[in-house]
Amino acid sequence: MEKIISSNSVHKADKDAQHVLINLKGEWSVKRSGAVKVSRTFPSKADAIRYARNLGKRLHTIVFIHDESGNVQKVENFEKKE
């Protein structure tokens, strides 16, 4: 189930948001919003999520975890609280 976050949070971190996506080879990639190339590719979804969460924590941004169909499965917010 998708976690709902406020539209202000999405807008603020949208350019740095990280996405965990499956590629055509069946591998899992982490890609920044708006990027042409992926940051890194992993053989398992769990490894890609772990990497994306670390980026999210370090960059204080949002991580979108997609399912095999490309739909958002989960949203994790690592933005700093004001």
Q: Would you kindly state where each structural domain of the chain is located, as residue ranges?
A: 7-77
Token pair of 82 as six digits: 């004001």
Torsion of CA 68, 51, 56, 76, to 10 degrees: 40
34-40: average pLDDT? 95
Predicted confidence (pLDDT) at residue 8 exceeds the cutoff of 70: no
Q: Are 61 and 46 in contact (CB under 8 A)?
A: no
Predicted confidence (pLDDT) at residue 51 exceeds the cutoff of 90: yes
3-class secondary-structure state, position 25: coil
12-41: average pLDDT? 91
2-23: average pLDDT? 64
2-6: average pLDDT? 38
Model confidence at 44, in pLDDT bands (50, 70, 90)?
A: very high
